[in-house]
Amino acid sequence: MTIALLAIRLLLAAVFLVAGAAKLADRRGSRDALVAFGLPEWSSAPLAVVLPLIELSVAGALLAGTAAWWGAAAALGLLIAFMFAIAISLGRGLAPECHCFGQLHSAPAGPATLIRNGLLAAAALSVVIAGPESVGPSAFAWLGGLGVSGWAVFVAVAVGAAMLLFVVSLLLALLSQNGRLVLRVEALEAQLAHDVGDSLPVGAFAPAFELRALGGAEVTLAELLAAQQPLLLVFTEPHCGPCAALVPEIAQWQDDHGDRLTVAVVGRRDRAANRELAKHGLRYVLFQGAREVSVGYGVAGTPTAVLIAADGKIASSPAVGAEAIRRLVADAVGPTPASRAATGDDDGWPSLPWGAKPGEPAPNFLLPDLTGALFALSDLRGHETVLLFWDPGCGFCRAMLEDLRAWERERPLSAPTLVLISAGGANANRAQGLQSLILLDEEGRLRRPYGIPGTPCGVVVDAENTITSDVVLGADAVLALAGFGAPVHA
């Protein structure tokens, strides 16, 4: 029994020794982990030093004979505290990086972390129950009393245990990496097969949320909308290359457009990713636990952005990918007076902050069709025209494609001319098999002057190039503008 208790003490001492030394070697990571578990940021710096020093002291006490019982009691208390913190985080739907062994091994805290700490706590409890007089000799005295054969056995067991731990750690690292790859593949597959019904319709109220921000504060949707300006939620994931590449641009948007657009990043806690975000000085970095906010907003892959109007309503369909997000930002903030003057477009943009209104002249344009031929607004004179703002990569657009083809096959008698103002390249648009005129606006420059929040959207321009309808949102409203369901040609 004495040898068994000594072996337990050696195991616990090794665990706390490695954990304490590894945390001291990576104090910045330890601070991030403490904040992730809900501690105030002001307390993270001193605790990142004090906690590993306590762990090292516990390891030393476990090895000594006279203090071994107290060391086991302290180890039990620490392990119970760790388990309590992990259980609270899991109960709130969070999975912060445990940073239990510094840079040697760090993974999101979960049930496996609870089980591991529970087993170690049970081991410490067995020493505590044995009592101060029965915990066995000092480890140093016991090792000093070993003969040559005893030392040979001890070294062999230690080397074997170290090799076993190394193999297990390697397997865990490979499994963790494989798990991340599987999650990324699943996210990409979900993005490709994303059902439009999962996305929130434009005009619906944005789901409320309360998330912990980088730094520890709790931030709500209402607080982000308090500035009475549009809000752009950019959804990211750790280990997402395109997300990391977009971070410097997000920081630039926050600096350049902060007076017109609030930009917030919604991701998940990861020590390395958090460090990168902090390096760029991002504001409003929020952390969800198990993608609950992503699911609520119909976001399947990353990076994806959703625009929310100042009144709290969804103002765009999800913009998937860096280029689509850039177009959405351009739509939301519009051109500055300096940029309009530099490009010679100052007269072509309406003075209203969010697009021309019925009764006003339609904003002019000069856009290429799928063959490269240029069309201007004046080329549409003489015919009532529905301008359909389109994106071949938009799930809502793909959902209405069959109805649009049916409209083209049996065009109603009273139907206006249909012209698509489309994002994407010529090949992507050509592949849809539509017969209507398609004009390419790959950078989305026309969306702002026409007041287009997303796709599909439509607006009617009369024979004199005057806007005669409000912007309508969604497939049903656009098809109604085009006269879908009206009598057809005989």
Provide the Cα torsion 350, 203, 359, 414; round to 10°: 130
Could you read off the pLDDT of 162-181 as tens digits, one per residue?
A: 676 566 556 655 655 565 55
Measure the CA–CA gap between 478 and 374, rounded to whole angstroms.
Answer: 25
Where is pLDDT greater, at 90 or 54? 54
Gyration radius (Cα) of the chain, Å = 31
Which of the four pLDDT bands, split at 50, 70 and 90, describes residue 109? Answer: low
In terms of C-beta density within 10 A (0-12 exposed, 13-18 middle, 19 or more buried), how is residue 337 classed?
exposed
Which of the four pLDDT bands, split at 50, 70 and 90, describes residue 343? Answer: very low
41-50, 100-109, 302-311, 355-364: which range is least confident on average? Answer: 100-109
- Give the residue extent of every domain in the chain: 2-145, 210-333, 349-481
pLDDT of residue 132: 79
Q: Is 361 left (phi over 0), alpha (psi -120 to 50) or beta?
A: beta
pLDDT of residue 203: 82
163-172, 426-435, 468-477: which range is least confident on average? Answer: 163-172
Reply yes or no on whether the pLDDT at 229 is more than 80: yes
pLDDT of residue 2: 67
Measure the CA–CA gap between 397 and 425, rounded to whole angstroms.
Answer: 15
pLDDT of residue 232: 95
Measure the CA–CA gap between 79 and 120, rounded to whole angstroms.
Answer: 7
Beta-carbon contacts of 330 under 8 Å, excluding residues fewer than 6 positions away, are: 443, 444, 445, 447, 448
- Fold of domain 349-481: Glutaredoxin (3.40.30)
Tokens 């649009």 belong to 404
Report which of 178, 174, 212 is spatially closest to residue 32, judged by C-alpha positions: 212
DSSP state of 64: S
Is the bond preceding 456 in cis, omega lying within 30 degrees of 0? yes
Reply yes or no on whether the pLDDT at 348 is more than 60: no
Could you read off the pLDDT of 7-66 as tens digits, one per residue?
A: 788 888 888 888 888 888 877 777 777 776 777 767 778 888 898 899 889 888 888 767
Do domains 210-333 and 349-481 share one topology? The answer is yes
Task: Please give the class, per CATH, of domain 210-333.
Answer: alpha beta
Reply yes or no on whether the pLDDT at 488 is more than 50: no
> Against a cut of 0.85, is the pTM above it?
no
Dihedral sign from CA coordinates of 113, 114, 115, 121? positive
pLDDT of residue 472: 85
Measure the CA–CA gap between 209 and 481, rounded to whole angstroms.
Answer: 36
Where is pLDDT greater, at 113 or 73? 73
